Amino acid sequence: MTTRILLSTTSYQDTPGPHHDLLASQGYEIVRERGPLPEAEMLALAGEFDAFLCGDDAITRAVIEKSLPRLKVISKYGIGLDKIDVAFATTQKLPVLNTPGVNHTTVAEHTFGLLLSLTKKIQENAQDVREGKWVAGWKKPVGHEILGKTMGIIGLGRIGKEVATRAKAFGMPVIAFDPYFDEAFAAAHGVERCASMDEVLHRADVVSLHCFLDEHTRGMINTAKIAEMRDGAIVLNCARGELVETDCVVKALELGKLGGYGADVLDTEPPVPGHALLTAKNCIITSHIASRTYESVERQALRATHNLINYLNGDPDFIQANQWG
């Protein structure tokens, strides 16, 4: 029987590169869908595939149960596994493989793109110029420098470290909190360790979120935490939309407590009509494209495809190095 693969990540499908030839070379039957797919759509497809090559699709316990015993492996294009019930997959000895170390540079670049756009009023000003407002006597917007402003990083993993090195290059003092803090990196790059997330919030002019979404981090930026922050602080979120409580952020922007919010992620993707952040003051939202560059897509897609092929082909070294989840 021909091996059937569900390919649902749109970045993989939409970006040319050698990953397409690699996948095609295996002779699999590829079924392409435009993800991220909600649970109902995944349930409708479940049970007919030997492997998922997925993005941020909802692969819940129900989806896994319906997919077994035919489903042999889940190969995640990307890093975050919060949309996959990894705990249940582990009980079923269903491997969940991801692609760490392939998108940290481009996500860090996007983080700074959001920061500079907010502080320099780039998006706002460019739109005004496009609309013909640049005329004699026009009152131009005034931005802020980031030189000397304190960058606070919550989550000093691969992406957080890349943000830290860029912040130092811009002349920003860097403080960070991570329960698994890398002392060697911090010493080498002049990053100050904070004892808690709250300390970062108290001291930072810019707070950049680079942590996974779980029961401890969901809604971590809320009314109480925002109240601890400096007036006019900026929050950047290129991790997961659910790390912040949307209504709290919107209110803080309206009141001027937050000076800006820049995010590449939302709590609902795509956003529902009228999503509050889309019209919020001093807010920039991009469509989950921080890792969507030709270079990064190729790296992620090749890694995810190799993971899939190597597991299905029974590569013993690969399987031993990538035990469940």
Is 41 among the residues known to form the active site?
no
Q: Which residue has the tokens 């707070």?
A: 207
Rounded Cα distance, 72 and 264, in Å: 32
Q: Which residue has the tokens 């830290």?
A: 164
Q: Which residue among 104, 158, 230, 288 is the active-site one?
A: 288
Is 216 among the residues known to form the active site?
no
Q: Which residue among 269, 275, 298, 306 is the active-site one?
A: 269
- Is there a contact between 234 and 260 (Cβ–Cβ < 8 Å)? yes
- Is there a contact between 271 and 264 (Cβ–Cβ < 8 Å)? no
- Is there a contact between 233 and 204 (Cβ–Cβ < 8 Å)? yes
- Is there a contact between 75 and 52 (Cβ–Cβ < 8 Å)? yes
Helix (H) or strand (E) holding 321: helix 316-321
With CA atoms as reference, report the closest residue to 27 among 4, 8, 48, 47.
4
Q: Which residue among 158, 210, 230, 240 is the active-site one?
A: 240
Q: Which residue has the tokens 């000397």?
A: 148
Edge-to-edge strand list for the sheet holding 51-54: 29-32, 4-7, 51-54, 73-76, 96-97
Is 269 among the residues known to form the active site?
yes
3-state helix, strand, coil in the chain (%, to 5): 40, 15, 45
Q: Which residues are catalytic?
A: 240, 269, 288
